[in-house]
């Protein structure tokens, strides 16, 4: 399981201000911290970038890759920003992300095919709504995977995100279980060892009780890992969660490690 | 996932002394604490009971069931003690346990069949050694399950223990992964939704660093749950582990619960 930092996001005040001031330092400080914490990649969540999408995404990408060689994930619904970001990246980047929403199939899928990038595919309805259960998610996975192949995206470029929802939703716990089922079932269903990703922070979005929040995250994370999750998108600067994530990795990685590495 | 207390064991000093003095109070205090902590069952680990096996097992069973109606698991290699314990139990008990060891097949298997009890089956070699990987464990599972059926034990009476070993073993982490694989694969292999159990305390047996120990237990426990484990044998008086175990249950149980129950 690879650990992807979700810390570089525009909804974070320091990042928002840095973007407004075109000041790369806070972005770079954050990127360096994520690398130090053990991230295997960084998600650059720029938001939709209604104004100047190209120059602002390029600013973020350039700022970050000045201080780290970690792979980048470009996270925006704006296809202009995605394209500009891809061109600015020194190394192959991942597009985040595609779904059955018509605007995304139209604008993001061709980008993924043309630039031969990895692409994260959300199991959402065409109207952007979250499916109620695993069956619906798996149906969408089949359709979306097919769309990718038809567009010329290679199977090993596809990364599926089954969409973790907040536990505070009325059916939050049920949805959390269904996500595990999707991760366990996908590869057999698609007949390909497709990679998967999930956003851990979503699980406790809106939760105030930090003890409960940690308990939920630290329990669900190993369950995702044991279900076969390939990549976890998470706050890598949460010391407790990162310790659990690293331990999950020891328990699920193929090569043998000694017990001394835990901690 | 049901939570089985492993706290009532003769290797614990207070229990050992209580047994020697035939004083039921410490056993009863422990049993009540386990019930309060949320245990779904209690494992009575009497050791081999070389002297007076019958009367000493009966003493333990009677002491415990005076204060709790939780299902009991009789945990000894001594078939005389098992038989006496079974007869002393007010409610159906579980035998712990069977393996391919000839003495157990000869003495414990007929008991399970004659008394129609649940029986825990360890995936060990006939000489009692731990198999090196999941393939060997699965081979043993097939043989042992077959032996049970041939002896007249019904499939839903069989509970398989894939044998968690200490992480401190040279191949400890590898073995931990292999145990997860066994739990995930067993049902399909046997063609029956066979139940499984694992002993969590074994994982960190001998470990001194308590931070590491907790981290390992609290990460592995949800991984066991997500792999489909039916019962976890654990120290239910460890407040942190029990919180994680309860949260696992919320994440893996079929019925819907609200987020408020976590904690």
Cβ distance of B222 and A227 shorter than 8 Å: no
- B243, B256, B263 member nearest A174 (Cβ): B256
Residue of A nearest to B209 (CA): A263
User: Cα A165 to the chain's mean position, in Å?
Assistant: 14
CA–CA separation, A111 and B133 (whole Å):
45
Question: How do residues A16-33 score in pLDDT, each as one tens digit?
Answer: 999 999 999 999 999 999
Query: pLDDT at residue B257 above 60?
Result: no
Return the H-helix or E-strand segment holding B9: none
Using a 10 angstrom Cβ sphere, with 0-12 exposed, 13-18 middle and 19 or more buried, the burial of residue B203 is buried
Predicted local distance difference test score (pLDDT) of residue B161: 98
- DSSP 8-state code for residue A131: P
Question: How do residues B168-221 score in pLDDT, each as one tens digit?
Answer: 998 999 999 999 999 999 999 999 999 999 999 999 998 888 899 999 999 999
Using a 10 angstrom Cβ sphere, with 0-12 exposed, 13-18 middle and 19 or more buried, the burial of residue B93 is buried
Token pair belonging to A126: 């065409």
* Average of per-residue pLDDT values in chain B: 95
Predicted local distance difference test score (pLDDT) of residue A207: 86
- B263 at A interface, C-beta within 8 A: yes
Phi, psi of B174 (to 5 degrees): -60, -45
Q: Note whether A144 and A100 are within 8 A (CB).
A: yes
Predicted local distance difference test score (pLDDT) of residue B263: 57
Cβ distance of A221 and B220 shorter than 8 Å: no
Q: What is the ipTM of this complex?
A: 0.91
- A206 at B interface, C-beta within 8 A: no
Write out chain B residues lying below 8 Å of A218, CB-based.
Answer: 218, 244
Write out chain A residues lying below 8 Å of B174, CB-based.
Answer: 256
Write out chain A residues lying below 8 Å of B168, CB-based.
Answer: 259
Q: Which residues of A234-244 are buried (b: 16+ CB within 10 A; e: fewer)?
A: bbbbbeebbbb
* Contacts of range A184-192, beta carbons closer than 8 Å, 24 or more positions apart: A184/A227, A184/A228, A185/A134, A185/A138, A186/A138, A186/A141, A186/A160, A186/A162, A187/A228, A189/A138, A189/A141, A189/A142, A190/A141, A190/A142, A190/A145, A190/A155, A192/A155
Cβ distance of A256 and B215 shorter than 8 Å: no
Q: Note whether A75 and A45 are within 8 A (CB).
A: yes
Which of A105-119, A121-135, B198-212 has the least mean pLDDT? B198-212
- A210 at B interface, C-beta within 8 A: no
Question: How do residues A29-50 score in pLDDT, each as one tens digit?
Answer: 999 999 999 999 999 999 999 9
Residue B230 C-alpha, separation from nearest chain A C-alpha, in angstroms: 15
Q: Model pTM?
A: 0.94
Q: At A134, is the pLDDT very low, low, confident or very high (cuts 50, 70, 90)? A: very high
CA–CA separation, B262 and B244 (whole Å):
9
* Average of per-residue pLDDT values in chain A: 95
């Amino acid at each position: 399981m690879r650990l992807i930092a979700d810390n570089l996001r525009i909804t974070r005040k320091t990042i928002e201000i840095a973007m407004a001031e075109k000041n790369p330092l806070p972005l770079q400080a954050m990127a360096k911290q994520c690398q130090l914490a053990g991230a295997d990649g960084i998600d650059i969540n720029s938001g939709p970038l209604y104004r100047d999408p190209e120059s602002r995404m390029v600013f973020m990408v350039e700022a970050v890759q000045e201080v780290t060689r970690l792979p980048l994930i470009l996270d925006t619904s704006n296809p202009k920003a995605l394209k500009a970001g891809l061109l600015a990246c020194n190394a192959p980047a991942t597009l985040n992300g595609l779904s059955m929403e018509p605007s995304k199939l139209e604008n993001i899928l061709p980008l993924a095919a043309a630039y031969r990038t990895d692409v994260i595919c959300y199991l959402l309805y065409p109207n952007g709504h979250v499916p109620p259960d695993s069956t619906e998610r798996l149906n969408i996975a089949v359709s979306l995977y097919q769309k990718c192949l038809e567009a010329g995206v290679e199977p090993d470029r596809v990364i599926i995100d089954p969409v973790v929802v907040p536990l505070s939703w009325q059916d939050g716990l049920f949805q959390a279980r269904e996500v595990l089922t999707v991760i366990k079932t996908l590869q057999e269903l698609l007949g390909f060892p497709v990679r998967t990703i999930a956003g851990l922070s979503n699980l406790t979005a809106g939760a105030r009780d930090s003890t409960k929040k940690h308990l939920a995250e630290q329990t669900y994370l190993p369950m995702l890992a044991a279900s076969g999750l390939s990549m976890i998108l998470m706050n890598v600067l949460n010391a407790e969660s990162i310790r659990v994530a690293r331990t999950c990795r020891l328990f699920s990685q193929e090569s043998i490690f000694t017990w001394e590495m835990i901690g």
